[in-house]
Every structure is written in C-alpha cells, then in structure tokens.
Structure 1
Amino acid sequence: MLGGGEETAARKLIEVFMHFNKVNWNQQQVDLKQKHSELRLLVVIKRMDIIAKDGVKVSDLSKFLRVTSPTVTQMLNRLEEMGLIARKEDPKDRRAVRVSLTEEGELTAKKALQGFMDRMNGLADYLGDEDTEQLIRLLKKTTSYFEQMNQSDSGGDD
C-alpha cells in the first residue's frame, strides 16, 4: 500500500493503475523478435498505409504515436535492418521520407495484431459479456476524463 492510513478511493485507483502498468498484458508472441514498441509501430504503419497507399510520413507516425521524430527514426532504423520496412523519398516533398512495410513486415504486423486480438478475446471471454461492456464503458469514461484534464492543463492547445 502507498503509505498513510485509510484506503481512499484515490489510493485504491493509484494502486490498481500501478499494478496494471506492471502487468505484462501486452506481451509479444514468443516467435516474434521485435520489442512491443516496434511491433506497435509496424501495426500503425500497416493501418495508416491502408489510407495513404504510398507509404506513411515519419512525421505522421510521430504525431500519431505522440513521440518525437528522432524516436520514431531510431525504431525505423532497427526495423529496416531487420528487413521489415522500406523507406523512399516523398515525390511531392523531397525533405520527407515515406515508410512502408516489406512482405516480411506485413507478415510480422499481421502476427502481432492477431496475437493482441487473441489476448483481448481471451480477456472478453474471461470477463463475460456484462463485465466486458462495463469495462469498455468505464475505460472510455476514464479516457474522456484524462483528455479533459490534459486539455484544461494545456489551456486547450494540443
């Protein structure tokens, strides 16, 4: 427990969030060599490229993932070394680079997404329909609360 006497609702929430953060609920599959962050990036590229169709800009990946471009670039370097992504110059903007998945990258992203879906389906089965719907409702409400708090903290500039 976090110090102090009484078990307030806030303390219970903090403890549950801390425990949830430590649980490896997004563990990658054993046969995949990539880190969770790299697998997530592959899946994001796959999803965003469905819309873009000619590769995804590094800056768009950075914005979507809410990390700096150098952070994304570092992960892309590793994924490129593994043969999972390809980069090409943007024909409309020579300063920009577009990223797309290779065949191996497509397969890896598909495996990662399927593994995650299997875990979420397992959770839904474990919880049952009623608890799953309640969890979804509460997580949406929680997300909304923190988005509102973040907006008011930043003065609405995001």
Structure 2
Amino acid sequence: MNEDRYDKIDELMEAFQQFSRINWQKNNPSLLKPSEIRVLITIRLGTEKSGKPVLTISDISKMHKVTSPTITQMVNSLLAQGYVVRTSDAQDKRVSGIALTDKGVRLADAAIARIRDTFKGMIDYLGKERSRALIELLNGVYHYFEEINGQLED
C-alpha cells in the first residue's frame, strides 16, 4: 500500500526531463546566448524594481544564484557588444555598476515581451484555474529542491 504513492515516479521523472529538451529561446532573433539575454532582462527588471539606475555584479549574481565570475564573464561579453556600460560609484571607486545601453534596453524589452507572450499563451491554453494550480505546484517544487539542496550542503 505504501508503495502505491510512488507508482508514478517514472512519469514524474520523464515530465521533468521533457523540459531539458525544450528550446525556450527558439525565437531568439539576436546572436546573444540565452544566458546573456537573461542577464539583460535581470538588469532591466532589477533596476526598475529597485529604483536604482545600475546593478552591481554582486546584485546580478545573487539574482541568478551563480558566482560573480560567471556574471562578470557575461557582462564583459555584453559590454564588448554594446548592450551594457560599466559605471563607477562616486563614493567608492572599487564598486562599479552595470547599466543597459539603449541597444540593451531595446533587446531586453523585446525579450521580456516575447516571454510574456509565451506565458500568456500558456495561460490561455491551460486556463486560469489550472495556471494558478501550476504556479502553486511549481513554487512548491522549487521550495522542495531548495530545501533538499540546503540539506545536502550541511
């Protein structure tokens, strides 16, 4: 009887595996990597949400839950391509901020619009109630993995 609750384990594993095979960025008209586009989006939404004109590498790395050197590499690439600029803090010259250029704003806004349209389509496809249930379930799954990952690190 106790094993019945695990009878769908293979189907659950397969459902998660399907997401690794989806090409989320299929309609990406830019030559940027998906990770670079995510950084642009993070800067765009992060500055809007915080009201700050720039974000630091540390801010961005915390939002992505990756190391600062990983973000620095992407920011340097975006800098070289003209999507972002680096600014100095007037009080502390060791701190530099990252801001989008006009080119970066246009690409980030276009990417945000594409992503929102994709999720609007999913809501239309699933319906409002099933979409709410999905949000609740996915948040629960996320918290579960956060919890077990925290336990594994202890």
Sort the TM-score into its range (normalised by shorter chain).
Answer: 0.7 to 0.9
The residue that corresponds to 1:140 in the other structure is 139
The residue that corresponds to 1:3 in the other structure is none
Percent identity over paired residues: 35
Query: Does 2:31 align with 1:33?
Result: yes
Q: Is 1:86–1:102's contact at 8 Å kept on the other side of the alignment?
A: yes
What's the offset of the Cα at 1:52?
Answer: 4.8
What's the offset of the Cα at 1:28?
Answer: 5.0
Matches within 5 A, 1:1-158: 8-24=7-23, 26-27=24-25, 29-50=27-48, 51-155=50-154
In 2, Cα distance between equivalents of 1:130 and 1:88: 45
Q: Which letter does structure 2 place at the counterpart of 1:36?
A: P
In 2, Cα distance between equivalents of 1:9 and 1:19: 16
Structure 2: any 5+ residue segments left out of the alignment? 1-5
Q: Deviations over 1:25-66 (max 9, x none)?
A: x21534222221111100101122222523111111112211
In 1, Cα distance between equivalents of 2:27 and 2:18: 22
The residue that corresponds to 2:3 in the other structure is none
Q: Which letter does structure 1 place at the counterpart of 2:88?
A: E
Q: Secondary structure at the match of 1:133?
A: helix
Q: Secondary structure at the match of 1:33?
A: coil
In 2, Cα distance between equivalents of 1:63 and 1:53: 16
Alignment root-mean-square deviation, CA: 1.8
In 2, Cα distance between equivalents of 1:132 and 1:84: 34
Q: Is 1:56–1:98's contact at 8 Å kept on the other side of the alignment?
A: yes
Which portions of structure 1, spanning 4 or more consecutive aligned residues, are displaced by more than 3 angstroms?
A: none
Q: Which letter does structure 1 place at the counterpart of 2:128?
A: D
In 2, Cα distance between equivalents of 1:98 and 1:52: 14
Q: Which letter does structure 2 place at the counterpart of 1:49?
A: T
What's the offset of the Cα at 1:75?
Answer: 0.8
Q: Deviations over 1:104-138 (max 9, x none)?
A: 11111000000000100111111122321221121
Change (3 A) 1:104 1:72: same
Scaled by the length of structure 1, what TM-score is found?
Answer: 0.84
What's the offset of the Cα at 1:152?
Answer: 2.6
Aligned length: 148
Structure 1: any 5+ residue segments left out of the alignment? 1-6
In 1, Cα distance between equivalents of 2:109 and 2:43: 12
